[in-house]
Amino acid sequence: MANAQAGDQEAYRRLLEGITPYVRALVAHQIRNSADIEDTVQDVLLTIHSVRHTYDPSRPFGPWLVAIVNRRITDGLRRRGRVDAREMPLQPEHETFVSTDTNSQEEAVDARLVRAAVERLSAGQRHAVRMLKLEEMSLEEASAASGMSISALKVATHRAMKRLQELFKQGDKR
Q: Rounded to an integer, what distance in angstroms lies between the CA atom of residue 157 and that of residue 132?
A: 8
CATH of 2-86, one of 3.30.450.20, 1.10.1740.10, 3.30.70.1560, 2.130.10.10: 1.10.1740.10
* Model confidence band, residue 173 (pLDDT cutoffs 50, 70, 90): low
Q: How high is the pLDDT of residue 90? A: 72
* Model confidence band, residue 79 (pLDDT cutoffs 50, 70, 90): confident
Q: How high is the pLDDT of residue 162? A: 92
The CA angle 77-83-89, to the nearest 5 degrees, is 115
Give 83-104 pLDDT, tens digit per residue. 778 877 777 766 666 555 555 5
Domain boundaries in the chain? 2-86, 115-173
Q: How high is the pLDDT of residue 172? A: 62
Residue 144 C-alpha from the chain's centroid: 32
CATH of domain 115-173: 1.10.10.10
For 94, residues 6+ apart whose C-beta sits below 8 A from its C-beta are none
